[in-house]
Amino acid sequence: MIGATVILYKPDMGITQDLLEAVLKQVDVVSIVDNSPVATELRFDKTNLHYHHFPNNIGIAAAHNVGLRDLRAAGCEYGMLLDQDSTIDEDFAFRLSSLLVASKVEKRPVVAIGPRIICSFSEKTVKPRVQREVLVYDEIVCVTQIISSGMMIDLSHLEAIGYKDESLFIDGVDHEWCWRAKQQNLMVAIADKVEMIHRLGDSRSKFAGITYKVGSPVRLYYQFRNILLLSRRGYVPKYWKTRNLCVLPIRFFANSLLQDRKLERLKFMLCGLWDGICKKDGAFSDNW
């Protein structure tokens, strides 16, 4: 059995409706976890569909865990994670699960496979600047980490790796889980011939010739704080620590001087830096 968990937060129902319709046709069980202040109105047959509403927003990590537990309780062997603003093909789940099944038959230590991501802003394939390919197996490329949306997980390994780290709340959650999988000698991979359109950030901006994604001011709190929290962990890759710590001053400058809502962004970045130094985690509202 294949299941899917879809996370909602104030969704654009035009895009989300299409995604949910596509998902419901491809999997056996769907768990929808809604972090929106007001419950999202859904018009679907409730058979094999679980809906959870958390108006206080429990964060993406906790939402993933709610969904993953639903899928395991339903007896699913494979579980797919999706954000509300992703777009998938009609055979998306089948192709990813087939690659996981093939990897298991070949006794490859692959625990999760995700698609090639096409940014909805640039309409180009996202290519990490620093991350290197670890290993290539036929149609999959093993890498250090993949994003959560579109990720298909072999649920039989979930107990060994553990669930998502809820203390991080949102940013870095997907990568941290991949790094933890590596500690168990398990790998994550990208399906070389499977693509998914996904929205990364709210908009795009350019500074010193470099285009970067721009998110809401509160996301800066989690981004800055979680970089400091994760940089203390031994299993986090050194290249990730070096790159993100070195870029922090540039991001601080760009967001406090070049973006709109400058004072609000400055406040969230300073709070994030302070809580990162003080080793505070959880939701922003729990600490401020």
Q: Which CATH number covers residue 91?
A: 3.90.550.10
163 shares a domain with 106? yes
pLDDT value at position 132? 60
Q: Which of 148, 170, 198 is the last residue of a domain?
A: 198
278 shares a domain with 138? no
Q: Would the pLDDT of 22 be above 60?
A: yes
86 shares a domain with 164? yes
Residues contacting residue 176 through CB under 8 Å, at least 6 positions apart: 164, 165, 168, 230, 236
Q: Would the pLDDT of 79 be above 80?
A: yes
Query: In the chain, what is the straight-line distance between the N-terminal and C-terminal CA atoms, in Å?
Result: 43
The per-residue pLDDT for range 26-73, each reduced to its tens digit, is: 999 999 999 999 999 887 776 789 999 999 999 999 999 999 999 999
- Asked whether the whole model's pTM tops 0.85, one would answer yes
216 shares a domain with 283? yes
Which parts of the chain are beta strand (E)? 2-8, 29-34, 49-53, 78-83, 86-87, 110-119, 135-137, 140-143, 152-154, 187-198, 203-207, 210-214
Write out the residue range of the structural domain in which residue 25 sits. Answer: 2-198
155 shares a domain with 40? yes
| pLDDT level of residue 224 (50, 70, 90 thresholds) | very high
pLDDT value at position 89? 93
Nearest to 69 by CA among 170, 162, 176, 183: 162
CB 86 within 8 A of CB 17: no
The span from the CA of 41 to the CA of 168, in Å, is 29
pLDDT value at position 137? 78
pLDDT value at position 113? 97
The span from the CA of 79 to the CA of 104, in Å, is 15
258 shares a domain with 123? no
Q: Would the pLDDT of 83 be above 90?
A: yes
Taking the CA atoms of the chain, what radius of gyration do you get in angstroms? 19
Kindly state the tokens that stand for 75: 């007896």
227 shares a domain with 192? no
The per-residue pLDDT for range 257-288, each reduced to its tens digit, is: 888 889 999 999 999 999 999 999 999 999 99
Kindly state the tokens that stand for 191: 């399906």
279 shares a domain with 143? no
The per-residue pLDDT for range 86-137, each reduced to its tens digit, is: 999 999 999 999 999 999 999 999 999 999 998 765 656 666 655 566 677 7
Per the structure, the count of domains in the chain is 2
CB 136 within 8 A of CB 142: yes
The span from the CA of 230 to the CA of 235, in Å, is 9
CB atoms within 10 A of CB 166: 18
Q: Which of 198, 214, 242 is the last residue of a domain?
A: 198
Return mean pLDDT, the chain: 90
Q: What is the mean pLDDT of residues 177-200?
A: 93
Query: Three-state SS for 151?
Result: coil
| pLDDT level of residue 138 (50, 70, 90 thresholds) | confident
Q: Which of 198, 227, 254 is the last residue of a domain?
A: 198
The span from the CA of 203 to the CA of 142, in Å, is 29
Burial 229-262 (b: 16+ CB within 10 A, else e): bbbeeeebbeebeeebeeebeebbebbbeebeee
247 shares a domain with 183? no
The span from the CA of 74 to the CA of 4, in Å, is 11
pLDDT value at position 256? 87
